[in-house]
């Protein structure tokens, strides 16, 4: 994703800060009249990112997620209510997407990470045994006790396809508490816009960052992209998408190279960009058209020029380069 020059900074003084948090570079830009207040707002928003990283990261052993993954197969683990509520929403998203989004995908991520280190593809029996651990139906959730456990030994959770979006939404709420009215939060290419003026966001060619294939307009909403070329496993000289299909256990492999979703919240954009990329062009676009409040731009093909497919709600408003239509 690329922010066009006609975005937030138009005719307004801005403060911009960048921090590395939640495994990516996060940029927060605030248009302001009072720079000290804007700087405080930005630092408070980054503090919220760091707080949620401590809550949701599977890489921190003592985090609530780390505790659930270590001990949840033996007995349910009490977690902060905020994490429990996010887990419940994730289960509903899994149902809505027919399992294309699934926070219990972590055993498969571990399997493919090990395969990359060894340089050998997973064996069939490894895939079968790992898939048996992946399904939100394995979750034991108690709203009364705010606990999370697992019915299936070895089941684990991973908030990687929802946590960043959730953190972006919370960071925007922090900015609002500081009375910020014009801001952009860019977390590794996912963007939230808090602004009374629309900002044009460019969707780039996955093979050429200078080539913008389409643009969408954000105004108090968010956009996120899942793509095949940005992160990948390399095994035996071959590249495999880092996005794993929780239903099959295999890296996603189809003609869809990029799925960009626009939604009212970054959480929704994060979840559904992943789900649509897993589902592919036809089923992914069907999901977008059937879900109120979502729009999408999907790129398909193995090489440039790519086909650009846009959802019905964007067809009258999305600006695209004419060579792609």
Assess whether 233 and 112 both reside in one domain.
Answer: no
Domain that holds residue 102: 64-150
Domain end among 130, 150, 170: 150
Assess whether 256 and 201 both reside in one domain.
Answer: yes
Assess whether 185 and 304 both reside in one domain.
Answer: yes
Assess whether 185 and 78 both reside in one domain.
Answer: no
In a domain, 156, yes or no: no
Domain end among 150, 177, 205: 150
Assess whether 142 and 170 both reside in one domain.
Answer: no
pTM of the predicted protein model: 0.93
Assess whether 177 and 260 both reside in one domain.
Answer: yes
In a domain, 200, yes or no: yes
Assess whether 146 and 181 both reside in one domain.
Answer: no
Residue 320 has pLDDT above 70, yes or no: no
Residue 46 has pLDDT above 90, yes or no: yes
In a domain, 105, yes or no: yes
Per cent of the chain over pLDDT 70 is: 92
Assess whether 269 and 184 both reside in one domain.
Answer: yes
Consecutive H or E run containing 190: strand 190-194
Q: How far is CA 81 from CA 78, 88, 145, 177, in A?
A: 9, 11, 9, 22
In a domain, 124, yes or no: yes
Q: How many domains are contained in the chain?
A: 2
In a domain, 155, yes or no: no
Assess whether 129 and 210 both reside in one domain.
Answer: no
Give the closest residue to 225 by CA, choosing from 264, 263, 189, 275.
189
How far is residue 226's CA from residue 306's CA, in Å, rounded to a whole number?
Answer: 16
Question: What is the per-residue pLDDT across 56-104, written as a single tens digit (0 to 9) for each?
Answer: 999 999 999 999 999 999 999 999 999 999 999 999 999 999 999 999 9
Assess whether 118 and 265 both reside in one domain.
Answer: no
Q: What is the pLDDT of residue 4?
A: 41
Q: What is the CATH number of the domain that holds 289?
A: 3.10.520.10
Average pLDDT over residues 278-307: 93
In a domain, 103, yes or no: yes
Q: What is the CATH number of the domain that holds 112?
A: 1.10.3980.10
Assess whether 51 and 70 both reside in one domain.
Answer: no
How far is residue 42's CA from residue 49's CA, in Å, rounded to a whole number?
Answer: 11
Question: What is the per-residue pLDDT across 167-186, written as a single tens digit (0 to 9) for each?
Answer: 999 999 999 999 999 999 99
Consecutive H or E run containing 87: helix 81-96
Assess whether 77 and 132 both reside in one domain.
Answer: yes
- Say if residues 90 and 265 touch (Cβ distance below 8 Å): no
In a domain, 300, yes or no: yes
Domain end among 116, 150, 184: 150
């Amino acid at each position: 994703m690329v922010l066009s020059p006609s975005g937030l900074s138009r005719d307004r003084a801005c403060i911009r800060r960048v921090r590395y948090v939640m495994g990516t570079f996060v940029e927060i830009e605030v248009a302001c009249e009072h720079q000290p207040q804007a700087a405080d707002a930005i630092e408070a928003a980054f503090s919220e990112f760091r707080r949620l990283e401590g809550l949701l990261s599977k890489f921190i052993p003592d985090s609530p997620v780390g505790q659930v993954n270590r001990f949840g197969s033996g007995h349910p683990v009490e977690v902060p209510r905020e994490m429990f509520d996010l887990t419940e929403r994730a289960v509903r998203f899994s149902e809505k997407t027919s399992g294309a989004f699934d926070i219990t995908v972590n055993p498969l991520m571990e399997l493919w990470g090990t395969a990359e280190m060894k340089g050998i593809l997973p064996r069939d029996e490894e895939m079968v045994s790992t898939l048996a651990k992946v399904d939100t139906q394995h979750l034991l959730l108690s709203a009364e006790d705010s606990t999370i456990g697992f019915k299936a030994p070895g089941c684990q959770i991973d908030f990687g396809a929802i946590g960043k979006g959730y953190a972006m939404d919370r960071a925007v709420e922090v900015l609002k508490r500081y009375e910020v009215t014009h801001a952009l939060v860019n977390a590794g290419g996912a963007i939230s816009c808090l602004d009374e003026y629309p900002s044009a966001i460019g969707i780039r060619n996955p093979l050429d960052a200078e080539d913008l294939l389409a643009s969408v307009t954000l105004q108090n909403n968010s956009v996120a992209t899942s793509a095949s070329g940005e992160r990948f496993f390399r095994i035996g000289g071959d590249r495999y998408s880092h996005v794993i299909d929780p239903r099959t256990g295999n890296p996603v492999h189809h003609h869809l190279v990029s799925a960009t979703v626009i939604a009212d919240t970054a959480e929704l954009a994060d979840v559904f960009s992943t789900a649509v990329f897993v589902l592919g062009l036809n089923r992914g676009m069907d999901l977008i058209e059937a879900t109120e409040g979502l729009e999408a731009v999907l790129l398909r093909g193995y090489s440039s020029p790519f086909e650009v497919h846009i959802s019905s709600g964007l067809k009258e408003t999305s600006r695209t380069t004419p060579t792609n239509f």
